[in-house]
Structure 1
Amino acid sequence: MTHRVHSTLYVELWQHSDKFASHVRMSVSTFHDLLAHINEGIRRQDTHLRRSISPEERLIVTLKFLASGESFSSLHFQFCQGISTISGIVRTTCDALWDCLLEEFLPQPSPELWLQIAEKFHEVTQFPNCVGAIDGKYIRIQKPAHPGSEYFNYKKFYSTILIAFADAQYRLIAVDIGSYGRNNDSRVFKNSVMGRRIYSGEMGLPEPRAFPGTDGPPMPFVFIGDEAFQMCGNLLKPYSSRGLDQRKRIFNYRLSHARCYVECAFGIFVGKWRIFTRPIQLHPDVVDQVVKAAVVLHNFILTKEPSPSDPEEVESALPGLQQTSRRATQAIMCLREDFSQYFLTEAGMVSWQDRML
């Protein structure tokens, strides 16, 4: 026991915060805050035969697994715990992270929270009435035993899907986890609970309001996405790349500039939790547990340690969804026209939009 990682290396790492952070992807103080949140959820009773593994060690084992992507066999040798014990620790701790952090760090947004997100988005990106940027990524997994074909995607590997909205601080504000990888475009999103709420206008968004700096008609609050998503009254995507005039190119650039925040969020997510850089050697149900834990940890750490990253400088290694060419209704296309026209007005233009085309 005296030679295992927890009783040697990590005891020394407490004294070196930079080295500790490189192992578990957070500072010592953030780690202790996290442990306080989930301590009771992962504590186990001692028995007359053996002492239980401490909550601290359970959390470190799980963070090491997420941060490195090492196998249970590798962690078994490092922590001197059986492979099945390591597996159980990771699963129960991931569940506890989700259960204990969900309400505070991935809450159901209220109209007031949507307004706060929109204000920050406009402050940082100058995109009006935007309540989040959406993107979908494949999470690579090993081939499941049954039914493997459901997880085999058009890029010829096995996967599940993570769809997320991000705010202008790189936090994930809503997620859909665990759809089959075979569903490779916006259909998987439209069929999800979150997608159905957006396309039916049931996301609880604030009442429409005029664009900043104008006294024009009220305009709806919107999410922004790429070509993989079908537009609706609360979701905008770029114009097709063919036959673009100056106005449409400016709109596409402004939308792309704002949408970088979800790409950056995924980049931070994967950069911190390296398990997602390779196929995860677990059953899909356990993969979902891992993804859930990583999502709430992402938000928890950003709350404690805001990221200084520039969205132009962080890229995600996760493959994106297939593009779709479904045509929107005339009313929705007119909505996009209203946004693009606003970017040409004195109130809506920015000094750099023409230089960047």
Structure 2
Amino acid sequence: MCKGTFMELYDLLSPALRCKNTKMRAALTVKKQLATALWKLATPDSYRSVGNQFGVGKSTVGAAVMQVANAIKDLLISRVVTLRNVQVIVDDFAAMGFPNCGGAIDGTHLPILAPEHQAGEYINLKGYFSIVLQTLVDHKGRFTNINVGWPGKVQDARIFRNSGLFQNCRKGLYSQTRK
């Protein structure tokens, strides 16, 4: 990631990531939180290894990842991942040979550690613990909708039926009428 991109993320996420110092310890700076979380998310390194890299404990790495992920979800996802002009997407899919198509949707399983509660719900058909990430992409492969967090045992159709995307489709929010 280039420095300009990092600084842009820093500017956008700072309001949600600022922490106050306590009598026990100084708060982690926003830059260090962001750098730690991005490093962990971008590499297969362990929490301990990332913590050693940034001079923090492994629990601090976990907390930074969660805080940054929540800040991204709360502040950025709706700005970046969105269905803009549905008719343009439909027209461009038609030009590619897929008439009346508003996107391509699929799910993937993200491996997780076995949860202590309801572990059986998180075992997928391949036999490992996971949560499901279901995404919709436009004609250029850009994410236009993301739904994540369902247990690995849940089928794709059920996840879609319970998604905000499905509810909005049923309400007709993405319907386009041709002139």
TM over 0.5: yes
C-alpha displacement at 1:35, in angstroms? Answer: 1.3
Q: CA RMSD in A?
A: 2.3
Matched, 1:58 2:24: no
CA contact 1:38–1:97 (8 Å) conserved in 2:
yes
Does 2:92 match 1:117?
no
State the alpha-carbon separation in 2 of the partners of residues 203 and 142 from structure 1.
39
Query: Residue by residue, what CA displacement relative to the aligned partner does 1:178-228 show, whole Å, maximum 9, x if unpaired?
Result: 112112342332244433554xx3251233438xxxxxxxxxxxxxxxxxx
The 2-side partners of 1:97 and 1:77 are apart by 25
Aligned twin of 1:205: 174
Cα distance in 1 for partners of 2:172, 2:129 equals 31
Matched, 1:35 2:13: no
Distance 1:105 1:185 in 2: 24
Question: Partner of 2:68 in structure 1?
Answer: 93
Asked if 1:153 is matched to 2:124, the reply is yes
When you count strand as a share of all residues, which structure comes out higher?
Answer: 2
- Say whether the 8 Å CA contact 1:136–1:161 is kept in structure 2: yes
Q: Which amino acid aligns with 1:149?
A: G
Q: Which runs of 5+ in 1 are unaligned?
A: 1-25, 211-357
The answer to whether the 8 Å contact 2:168/2:174 transfers is no
| Alignment counterpart, residue 171 of structure 1, candidates 139, 142, 145 | 142
**1:77 counterpart SS class:** helix
In structure 2, the partner of 1:181 is 152
Give me the TM-score of the superposition, normalised by structure 2: 0.86
SS at match of 2:134: strand
Partner of 1:44: 19
Structure 1 100/188 Cα, relative in aligned 2: closer, same or farther at 3 Å? closer
Structure 1 residue 95 displacement after superposition: 0.7
Q: Distance in 1 between matches of 2:90 and 2:45?
A: 39
Which has the larger Rg? 1
1:190 — aligned with what? 161
What amino acid is aligned across from residue 116 of structure 1 in structure 2? V
Distance between the aligned counterparts of 1:185 and 1:207, measured in 2? 26
Cα distance, 1:45 vs structure 2: 2.7
2:76 alignment partner, SS class? helix
Distance across 1 between alignment mates of 2:14 and 2:92? 33
Q: Please say if residues 153 and 184 of structure 1, whose CA atoms lie closer than 8 Å, have aligned partners that are also in contact.
A: no
Structure 2's unaligned 5+ residue stretches are none
Count, aligned residues:
179
1:138 aligns with 2:109: yes
Residues 49 and 144 (structure 1), Cα distance of their counterparts in 2 relative to 1, 3 Å cut: closer
Question: What CA distance in whole angstroms lies between the structure 2 residues aligned with 1:49 and 1:149?
Answer: 40
Contact 1:139/1:160 (8 A) holds in 2: yes
Does the 8 A contact of 2:137 with 2:145 survive in 1? yes
Alignment pair present for 1:162 and 2:137? no
Offset, 1:49: 6.0
CA distance in 1, matches of 2:156, 2:78: 29
Going from structure 1 to structure 2, the CA distance change for 1:138 and 1:48 (only over 3 Å counts) comes to closer
Q: Name the CA distance, whole Å, in 2 between partners of 1:106 and 1:186.
A: 21
Higher RCO structure, 1 or 2 (CA under 8 Å, sep 6+): 1
- The answer as to whether partners of 2:87 and 2:176 remain within 8 angstroms in 1 is no
Deviations 1:152-194 (A, max 9, x none): 1221111111111101222211122111211234233224443
Q: Which residue of 2 aligns with 1:104?
A: 79
Contact 2:104 2:137 in 1 (8 A): yes
Could you tell me which amino acid in structure 1 is paired with residue 161 of structure 2? K
Under a length normalisation based on structure 1, what TM-score does the superposition of the two structures give? 0.46
- Partner Cα separation in structure 2 for residue 126 and residue 29 of structure 1: 38
Who is 1:275 aligned against? none
